[in-house]
Structure 1
Amino acid sequence: MVILRRGLLAALALASAFALAGPANAQTKLKWAHVYEPSEPFHTASVWAAGEIAKRTGGRYQIDVYPSSQLGKESDINQGLTLGTVDMIISGSSFAGKAYPPIGVTYYPYTFRDAGHLLAYARSDVFQDLAKGYEGKTGNHIVAVTYYGVRQATSNRPFKTCAEMKGLKIRVPDAPAYLAMPKACSANIAPIAFAEVYLALQNGTVDAQENPLTTIEAKKFYEVQKNIILTGHIVDHLNTILSASLWNKLSPEDRVIFSEVAQEAAARATGEVARREKELLDVFKQKGLNIVEVDTAEFKDTVMKNITFESFGYRKADWDRIQAIKSSM
């Protein structure tokens, strides 16, 4: 009887221990969304990061990564951070600028001189100030910045000057930041969802679009466009953003893990994008595309004369601080 009682007490103690340990070891499932293709570095690096976070937290987090606009277009996944439909996203500051306009100043044309200038900005006090402003407005936390590439135009008809863009039907992302250059050049702007751009180019809904060379390759826009125009109007980047809900729930130790892994993933993707970008002009030439070089100073001057910072909610003082940053490459 005594032995049975001791056995029962031991079993109860063990069950109690499992019950107490259960919540602490429970796995949290998270959704990480973006609009890029599975073949792109942004996705492969995210998948690596999801696995690495699971490893470094002892399996307490299972992160499923959803590419190719599976959880919605870019504006949708940004809203999803607040609505609770996503926990993490990769997205540009142009879309963060919808909630906090000043952070979108990096999308004013010709703000960055090159990739090195952009990456130096990502480590600067200017970025920290703008990121804090965005977090103060939304509660969402930016943990990493990835180089996305220099945005160039593709078009069915070539152009070499800003004036020659007049009347051109060009697709831009559905965020105010992208309007400055086409607007200054009197183009007709069509904010079509990213997943629909190929078809829009193919069926003539639009004549042109603009994206980095690596995206032009990944989305196969070169199949339905004859000309690549090297406008180089935006040196672009993507932020890895955690929702306010997720960030506030993370312990200080887990915040460090999420941040460090995201930054390592960003560095991986940045390196891949930069390497491939250097190769692609030759690749596109071999495919028979017409590469058109332009006087970017003429485009920049036209934008500066016609588009004010204030019209987009940007602050000229932030832009001036960015100009003073020295490139890191």
Structure 2
Amino acid sequence: MKLRLKTLLGAAAIIAATTLSAHAETALKWAHVYETSEPFHTDSVWAAQEIAKRTEGRYKIDVFPASQLGKEADINQGLKLGTVDIIISGSSFAARDYKPIGVTYYPYIFRNPSHLLAYTKSDIFKRLSKGYEDKTGNHIVAVSYYGTRHTTANKPIGKCADMAGLKMRVPDVPAYLAMPRACGANTAPIAFAEVYLALQNGTVEAQENPLTTIEAKKFYEVQKNIVLTGHIVDHLNTVISKSRWASLSDEDKKIFTEVMLEAAARTTKTIEQKEKALVEEFKKKGLSVTEVDTADFEKNVLEKAKFEDFGYEKADWEAIRAIR
């Protein structure tokens, strides 16, 4: 009887341990460089909570905003080192590992946000994201619209040639540099977190970012001219590290993917709505908001910034441009 009781107790202990193990909480780190007020953060927090809910608490995801775990280059490196599990980052950084994916940052490749979103459902997107995954092992789960990039400056700008000699902060990424350099600007790769001060003290005279970022980072306080160059319809990828993606069961991969796609859709909707309202808001603040002939800017880019210079494939550019 005692032996049987011990056997039963032992079996119960094993079952309990197995159950606890199956439901053990796994802690993950999700990092990005954006402010806590921005949808890239609020929707990441929503996704982290939703994943915890749908996996019955098996995953606890802490979201680290505003470069808390490093600048964008650092968190991309963190994916490789295993110090970060999930990041939000642009394809410009993915292109450091797999150059062809950077073609999505070539100026004026996308006509508008709808064109960008159509691209994310296309065969060319699947091919480029697979090329990145084959190279790094990291998995692009979702894409969100970041905003259309425009220019702010100390002086009015009406055409490409007006940027000649302008000291302009641009991220040190080839495709970002293409338009300003094609127009003759002198570019400076100042860190994102330091741009406000650089504009304020005159280290640079201009910068480029979406309207939502111009508002979030308060660049409008130190720049009175907003020029709607619309040179890049920008996007961000939600990326899971090679080691973390490999560790997920098929069921969990499905949950992570569904939630992150939902989060990206929420972000995209918020950004589009915000952009529509911001032009009028900036005008009310007394800023000059100028529309320009983007064809003039695009012509200069195509003439002076060759695809080959960036490591992009013209066929990829043509495939994306052809998407309707």
The aligned counterpart of 1:115 is 113
SS of alignment partner, residue 64 of structure 1? strand
Using the TM superposition, give the Cα deviation of residue 176 of structure 1 relative to its aligned residue in structure 2, in angstroms: 1.8
Partner amino acid, structure 2, of 1:227: N
Partner amino acid, structure 2, of 1:42: F
1:321 is aligned, of 311, 319, 322, to 319
CA distance in 2, matches of 1:117, 1:162: 24
Query: Which stretch shows the higher mean deviation, 82-91 or 18-27?
Result: 18-27
The answer to whether residue 222 in structure 2 is matched with residue 224 in structure 1 is yes
SS of alignment partner, residue 147 of structure 1? strand
CA distance in 2, matches of 1:175, 1:65: 26
Using the TM superposition, give the Cα deviation of residue 12 of structure 1 relative to its aligned residue in structure 2, in angstroms: 3.0
Unaligned runs of 5+ in 1: none
The aligned counterpart of 1:256 is 254
1:234 is aligned, of 232, 235, 245, to 232
Query: Which stretch shows the higher mean deviation, 158-167 or 110-119?
Result: 158-167
1:94 is aligned, of 88, 92, 95, to 92
Q: Scaled by the length of structure 1, what TM-score is found?
A: 0.96
- Once the two structures are superposed, residues 54-95 of structure 1 have per-residue CA deviations (whole angstroms, 9 ceiling, x without a partner) of 111111110001111111111111111101111101111111
Partner amino acid, structure 1, of 2:42: T
CA distance in 1, matches of 2:199, 2:276: 25
CA distance in 2, matches of 1:53, 1:35: 21
The aligned counterpart of 2:207 is 209
1:303 is aligned, of 290, 301, 305, to 301
Using the TM superposition, give the Cα deviation of residue 237 of structure 1 relative to its aligned residue in structure 2, in angstroms: 0.6
The answer to whether residue 153 in structure 2 is matched with residue 161 in structure 1 is no
Partner amino acid, structure 2, of 1:277: E
The aligned counterpart of 2:310 is 312
Using the TM superposition, give the Cα deviation of residue 157 of structure 1 relative to its aligned residue in structure 2, in angstroms: 1.5
CA distance in 2, matches of 1:268, 1:306: 37
CA distance in 2, matches of 1:268, 1:242: 19
Partner amino acid, structure 2, of 1:273: I
Partner amino acid, structure 1, of 2:236: L
Partner amino acid, structure 1, of 2:219: F
2:140 is aligned, of 127, 139, 142, to 142
The aligned counterpart of 2:122 is 124
The aligned counterpart of 1:41 is 39
CA distance in 1, matches of 2:244, 2:64: 17
Question: How many residues were matched structurally?
Answer: 324
CA contact (8 A) 1:105 1:318 kept: yes
CA distance in 2, matches of 1:8, 1:268: 55
The aligned counterpart of 2:29 is 31
Partner amino acid, structure 1, of 2:240: L
- Once the two structures are superposed, residues 225-259 of structure 1 have per-residue CA deviations (whole angstroms, 9 ceiling, x without a partner) of 11101100000111100000111111111111111
Partner amino acid, structure 2, of 1:313: G
SS of alignment partner, residue 232 of structure 1? strand
Using the TM superposition, give the Cα deviation of residue 298 of structure 1 relative to its aligned residue in structure 2, in angstroms: 0.4
SS of alignment partner, residue 268 of structure 2? helix
The answer to whether residue 211 in structure 2 is matched with residue 197 in structure 1 is no
Runs of 4+ in 1 over 6 A off after TM superposition: none
Partner amino acid, structure 2, of 1:100: Y
SS of alignment partner, residue 68 of structure 2? coil
Using the TM superposition, give the Cα deviation of residue 8 of structure 1 relative to its aligned residue in structure 2, in angstroms: 4.4
Using the TM superposition, give the Cα deviation of residue 273 of structure 1 relative to its aligned residue in structure 2, in angstroms: 0.3
- Once the two structures are superposed, residues 249-284 of structure 1 have per-residue CA deviations (whole angstroms, 9 ceiling, x without a partner) of 111111111111000000001000000100000000
CA contact (8 A) 1:75 1:174 kept: no
Unaligned runs of 5+ in 2: none
Report % sequence identity.
Answer: 68
CA distance in 1, matches of 2:82, 2:115: 34
The aligned counterpart of 1:289 is 287
SS of alignment partner, residue 95 of structure 2? helix
SS of alignment partner, residue 99 of structure 1? coil
CA contact (8 A) 1:121 1:325 kept: yes
Partner amino acid, structure 2, of 1:64: D
Using the TM superposition, give the Cα deviation of residue 30 of structure 1 relative to its aligned residue in structure 2, in angstroms: 0.5
CA distance in 1, matches of 2:245, 2:74: 20
Using the TM superposition, give the Cα deviation of residue 192 of structure 1 relative to its aligned residue in structure 2, in angstroms: 1.5
Using the TM superposition, give the Cα deviation of residue 322 of structure 1 relative to its aligned residue in structure 2, in angstroms: 0.6
Partner amino acid, structure 1, of 2:231: H
1:188 is aligned, of 183, 186, 189, to 186
Q: Scaled by the length of structure 2, what TM-score is found?
A: 0.97
CA distance in 2, matches of 1:195, 1:14: 55
CA distance in 1, matches of 2:82, 2:243: 8
The answer to whether residue 53 in structure 2 is matched with residue 51 in structure 1 is no
